[in-house]
């Protein structure tokens, strides 16, 4: 059930976005967007990070918004999941890197 704008009726959840494993696999092939943008040397494999900043729910963002992060910038010593406030202050919002990632892949 939806309203005229195609949105779910008030009180109903949005449908989950379709998973896109092929897109995520291609994100893994890219260099870390933080190492690249800030002139750092990437020393670990790239992982796909689903953006987390600016969300209004606990639901994971669509796969097509994922960005490439090395282990250090994802879950390591400089990781967005280990030090989110420091990460945002140092590198900015993670969703700001989604468009550039999409441009590289689409």
pLDDT tens sequence across 19-58: 899 999 999 999 999 999 999 999 999 999 999 887 666 6
Nearest 5°: the CA angle 61, 24, 54 is: 25
Please determine, for residue 93, whether its predicted confidence score (pLDDT) is greater than 70.
yes
Residue where the block lists tokens 């892949």: 105
> What residues contact 78, with CB distance under 8 A and at least 6 apart?
72, 87, 90
Could you tell me what percent of the chain has a pLDDT over 90? 66
Which DSSP symbol is given to 8? B
Q: pLDDT-derived band of residue 16, with 50, 70 and 90 as boundaries?
A: confident
The number of distinct structural domains making up the chain is 1
Give residue 90's pLDDT: 96
Position 12 in a domain? no
| Structural domain for 36, as ranges | 21-105
Position 9 in a domain? no
> What residues contact 85, with CB distance under 8 A and at least 6 apart?
none
Position 77 in a domain? yes
Give residue 1's pLDDT: 47
């Amino acid at each position: 059930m939806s309203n005229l704008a195609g949105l779910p009726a008030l009180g109903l959840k949005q449908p989950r976005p379709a998973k896109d494993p092929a897109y995520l696999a291609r994100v893994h092939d890219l260099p870390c967007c933080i190492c690249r943008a800030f002139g750092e040397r990437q020393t670990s494999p790239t992982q796909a990070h689903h953006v987390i900043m600016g969300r209004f729910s606990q639901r994971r963002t669509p796969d097509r918004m994922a960005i490439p992060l090395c282990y250090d910038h994802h879950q390591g010593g400089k990781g967005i999941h280990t030090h989110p406030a420091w990460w945002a202050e140092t590198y900015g919002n993670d969703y700001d890197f989604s468009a550039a990632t999409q441009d590289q892949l689409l």
